[in-house]
Structure 1
Amino acid sequence: MRIKVGIDGRFLTHSQKGGYKSYVEGLVYGLMTLEDDNEYVLYLGSGNYGDFWANYEDLWVNSNRRIRRVTRWRLPAIEMVLREQVILPWIAHRDKVDLLHYPCNTGNIRPTVPYVLTLHDVQALANPYVRFTRPWIKSMWSYAIQAYEKVVIPRVARRATMLITVSEYEKTMISERLGLPLEKIAVTHLAPSPIFRALDGRKLVEARYRVRDRYGIEGGYILSVGSKPSKNIAGVIDAYHLLVKNWDLDHLLVLVVPHQQYKGELVARVAKLPIRSKVIFIDAVPQMHLVDLYAAASVFVFPSFREGFGLPPLEAMACGTPVVTSITSSLPEVVGDAAMLVNPHNPEEIAVAIRQVLTYPELRATLVRRGLCRAAMFSWEVTAQRTVSVYESCFWQHRKLRGTS
């Protein structure tokens, strides 16, 4: 039987890079690869569609897939709440969708139709890393969002027909935090975008030239990315300081930090150390530029304190780059035996792992080979298939509760 599914796609038109936007883009891409009879309505928000939608809009719109723009005005604080709690539920009900998918942690607390919620993590309910220096108006906005999430997430999660999350680790955390049965929570892993791929030979040389021309980076470098304190870029800086101090390391340290206020804190930290001439900060970059940065790096370091999934290590692996990452939260589940695992609270341990990757060619080759195999195990097509299975299960579960056939 054909199911009509509505998907809240507001993050497709959001200015934020990565995070929820990567998930929604990946899910939409995966759904486009499937051949099923279900009908999909993608509800978009205000803002620009961006490069992703420019490339895929024609592929999405066909006989069983369409789009609807829910809001056309830009009032961030008001728009988000009004759209989620009033406008989208009303439109979905009017469109007679059988099921609504909220893919980004929050949704309507008084549902008009059955829904599935993707709850990426429960960090918003108790996040020690949410506060850092920023202009007061943005701080007020951050606290407002956090207060909204603390109220909405538990209610929406408990009222959802079923939850989706992104790792077995997070499934356990959600169950414990919200008191939900494990059988109500399905796991669908994330995956690297298809643009993240290994480069070799002339293509790798060209990528290194592009990195040099764009960012002034020549020679070997250690790469890390992160936009908030929980990503532990400070720990990478401390580990790099130890490497330069104790082993006279020649490699540069390249840090991609999209968030300007957080970047300011890190720049101030580096300025107090003798490594300041060897550390390069880069703002937010397009995904194609990130592919070059991954591919040309000697090692990618991601010692995050807490992840619901942790996509950057897989992206680096898909580009053929060895990875050092944390032994905490979901990251061991994601990387398996294809990365060096370290205690993120121990800069010395991070430094030793980086040095081993840079010093021993056999270890590096093993990590690259395992990383490529590991990254290939994750795909948005599989994620979409498992998500559709959740849709269908919820649809029949709801019909059974209503006593219809």
Structure 2
Amino acid sequence: MMKIGIDISQIIYQGTGVGRFTQGLTEAILNYDKKNHWLFFFSSFRQSLNKNIEEKIWQKGHQLISWKLPSFFLSFLFNDLHLVTKPLINTFSSLNSLDWFITSDWIELPISIKKATVVHDLVYCRYPQTLPKKIIKTQEKRLHWVKNETEIIFADSNATKDDLIDYSKIDPQKIIVNYPGVSIFTPPDNLIKKTLKKYQLEEKKFILTVGKIEPRKNIERLIDAFNKLNPANITLAVVGPQGWGQIKFSSSNIKYLNYIKDAELYSLYSSCLFFVYPSLWEGFGYPIIEAMALKAPVACSNTSSMKEAAQNCALFFNPFDVEDIKLKMKMMLENDKLRKDLVAKGKVNAKSFTWKNYYLKLIKTLSTFK
């Protein structure tokens, strides 16, 4: 039996890839681990951990440490200063009995036990102009400690592994590629109808895109391509929380739905004409697999991990080229056979991304580390 600690603080960021990852991994540990003992670490100044997850942690015989501290303070304390203050010493002394601690992609704890971490992407290296300076600084500091103190790095994709090697000169033998799982359910017809009515959309009469409103998600080029294409009786539905980008959704046939609950999102995946994902760079690309699992044909960027995730089951375009995005959307609109072929292949592809597989590889890696 191993004693393993894990930081799940980022579980609160609903509607984001990192939030989905943390939620999925937490549930996988609680569902599949019958042997090891886990200590879950959670900190948020304003939000609390979901009660169902908290109760399940204790019911399964694990432990939970909760702090009411803001993320910027922890980042300064652990990433910048890399030290522990007196009020936190008791908590940290309890961590010394652990065999492993798995850090989040936001802070690196200054502890002497073996550490593993997850790196989702290195967007701040490739496209720093798409991120706020605060995030760039935090990731730079964090990666310094990852490089120097972490025994194992789990990368979401080979694209992320390559970036870790190229930009950070990290030893390739420390990096393990482990594809995240995707957890979804198939929405019933009545929920789909209710969701479509709520957002004033018609089944198979809209194109869906999902992503936080920030420059990296490339929504502006998608909107340009859609406006140039100007398809009759087709709406572009944009789902995702507000980030640090600003986009004007001025066209009557473009609807910005903001963040919506998963049940509604799954209903839109299931009823859209096709799904388009124009992101400039991703560490994995959850929406691609979610869309495929719910039988939506997918068109997406031909960069980074998106080609890994989608395999040969999507129609690819250059995300920097508005004309190419427009052309591929036109092909999807006009070619029924293309859409049906992509649905069939995508459904098979999506089945390979499970949280059980992720959990099993993680545990095997930790238990066999020498």
TM-score, normalization by structure 2:
0.90
CA distance in 1, matches of 2:359, 2:275: 28
- Provide, for residues 44-92 of structure 1, a one-character-per-residue CA deviation record: whole Å limited to 9, x for no partner: 1134346xx33444433345422121x124x442244336742678624
- Quote how far apart the aligned CAs of 1:286 are: 1.3
Among 278, 290, 311, the alignment partner of 1:315 is: 290
What pairs with 1:178-197 in structure 2 (closer than 5 Å)?
178-195=168-185, 197=186
Aligned twin of 1:242: 228
Select 2:207's aligned residue among 222, 231, 256.
Answer: 222
Distance apart, 1:156 and its partner CA: 2.1
Tell me if structure 2 keeps the 8 A contact 1:207–1:295: no
Whether 1:59 and 2:56 are equivalent positions in the alignment is: yes
Question: Is the Cα–Cα contact under 8 Å of residues 124 and 136 in structure 2 kept in the other structure?
Answer: yes
Q: Aligned partners of 2:352 and 2:243: how far apart in 1? A: 34
**What are the Cα deviations for residues 291-322 of structure 1, in whole angstroms up to 9, with x where unaligned?**
11211111110011111111111111111111
CA distance in 1: counterparts of 2:52 and 2:197, whole angstroms = 26
Between the aligned partners of 2:90 and 2:178, the Cα distance in structure 1 is: 28
* Aligned residue in 2 for 1:72: 68
Gap runs ≥5 in structure 1: 132-141, 398-405
CA distance in 2, matches of 1:387, 1:16: 24
The CA distance in 2 between the partners of 1:329 and 1:164, in whole Å, is 17
Q: Residue 29 of structure 1 aligns to which amino acid in structure 2? A: E
- Residue among 277, 280, 303 paired with 1:305: 280
Mapped partners of 2:296, 2:324: distance in 1: 20
- Answering whether residue 368 of structure 2 is matched by residue 387 of structure 1, we say no
Residue 5 of structure 2 corresponds to residue 10 of structure 1: no
1:223 partner amino acid: L
| Structure in which a larger fraction of residues adopt helix | 1
1:6-405 counterparts in 2 under 5 A?
Answer: 6-12=5-11, 14-46=12-44, 47-49=46-48, 53-62=50-59, 64-69=61-66, 71-73=67-69, 75-82=70-77, 85=82, 86=84, 91-95=91-95, 96-108=97-109, 110-131=110-131, 142-195=132-185, 197=186, 203-204=188-189, 206-219=190-203, 220-227=205-212, 228-244=214-230, 248-259=231-242, 262=245, 265-267=246-248, 270-271=249-250, 276-394=251-369, 397=370
Deviations along 1:23-52, one digit per CA (max 9) or x if unpaired, are 1111111112324421111011134346xx
Counterpart-to-counterpart distance in 1, 2:90 and 2:282: 34
- Provide the C-alpha distance between the structure 2 equivalents of 1:313 and 1:287, rounded to a whole number of angstroms: 15
Residues 297 and 339, structure 2, Cα contact 8 Å, conserved in 1: yes
Give the 3 Å change call, closer, same or farther, for CA 58–283 of structure 1 in structure 2: same
Distance 1:67 1:260, change over 3 A: closer
Q: CA RMSD in A?
A: 2.3
CA contact (8 A) 2:157 2:305 kept: yes
Distance in 2 (CA, whole Å) between partners of 1:375 and 1:119 is: 22
> Aligned letter for 1:214?
K
d(CA) in 2 for partners of 1:241 and 1:290?
A: 24
- Between the two proteins, the alignment pairs up a number of residues equal to 361
CA distance in 1, matches of 2:335, 2:298: 14
What letter is aligned with 1:239? A
Give identity over the alignment, percent.
23
